[in-house]
Amino acid sequence: MMATAEFVSAAAALVLALTGLAHAESSAWSEDLRSEIRLISGDTTATPMHAGVEMKLQKGWHTYWRYPGDSGVPPQFDFAKSVNLKSATVLFPAPELHRDAGGEIIGYGQDVTFPVEVVAQDPSKPVTLHLSLDYAVCENMCVPARGEAELAIEPGKSAPDPQLKTALAHVPTKETAAAAGLTVKRDGNTAVVTLPAPADRSVTIFAEGPTKDWALPIPKPLDNAPAGQRAFRFKLEGQPPGADVAKPIDLTFTVVEGGRAFEVTTRLD
């Protein structure tokens, strides 16, 4: 009987340990009427450490990228209440182009995980991530949503989360214009972007200005691109007050080419 009791006690301890481990690798869900968010821990063996913001959406609803397109609002990640946190940099997986009543929007039509690069003030101590997230979800209409989550990140102790690894793999890589073969030139009050791309792949380009208060149109594909290339055109408009689009501008292009995505920052002279 004593052996049996000891076995049961050991088994119960193992269950508690595993439950604690699972809890330590993710926060509780913060639920809204149409979505929910939580924090998850990833690889913490290097600097920066990796965490993630996992967002689940109800079927038929979508949310926004860092630049929403014709309408909508981007998510606002606030880590100000965190402990032992030097910086938290949110990465955005490659977005999709959607069309709704507000026009063309840029975002995610399914569950999404945003990787977060975490740097501690004191690398020898845990970081307590506290997230306040304001975002919007849309179906036929858009509604605001808010979530809060907290999670302790232990340096050197968390195994990589498979879902977070997948999300990281979908973050556009940064490339130079020369390496990507991307060029952008003025054509009157428009800009034309050209880049090499196989004819059998879908290609979508998103354009951003030098600061977040720019709202450039989504580039439209042209039919007269040279063989082996794709060309896109967009109007030079949507600049904030005081900005002059006639002067040289630093532009960022996110290119989604089939299952590959990359980001190029270059100057339009």
pLDDT at 10: 40
What confidence score (pLDDT) does residue 2 get?
37
Question: 55 to each of 38, 67, 100, 237, 259, how far by Cα in Å?
Answer: 7, 18, 21, 32, 21
pLDDT at 79: 98
Nearest Cα neighbor of 103 from 73, 71, 135, 68 is 71
Q: Would you state the pLDDT for residue 118? A: 97
Instruction: Please identify every stretch of the chain with a pLDDT value under 70, giving residue numbers as ranges.
Output: 1-24
Same fold? 28-170, 174-268: yes
Domain 28-170 in CATH 3.40.50.300:
no
Separation of alpha carbons 135 and 68, rounded Å: 11
174-268 belongs to CATH 1.20.1050: no
In eight-state DSSP terms, residue 155 is T
Can you tell me the distance from the alpha carbon of 205 to that of 227, in angstroms, rounded to the nearest whole number? Answer: 18
CB neighbour list of residue 141: distance below 8 Å, 6 or more residues apart: 101
pLDDT of residue 218: 96
Q: Which token pair is 51?
A: 């965490």
pLDDT score of 220: 96
Structure tokens at 208: 């951003």
Which of 211, 208, 186 is CA-nearest to residue 268? 186
Residue for token digits 């050991």? 10
Domain extents in the chain? 28-170, 174-268
Sign of the C-alpha dihedral, residues 49, 254, 69, 171? negative
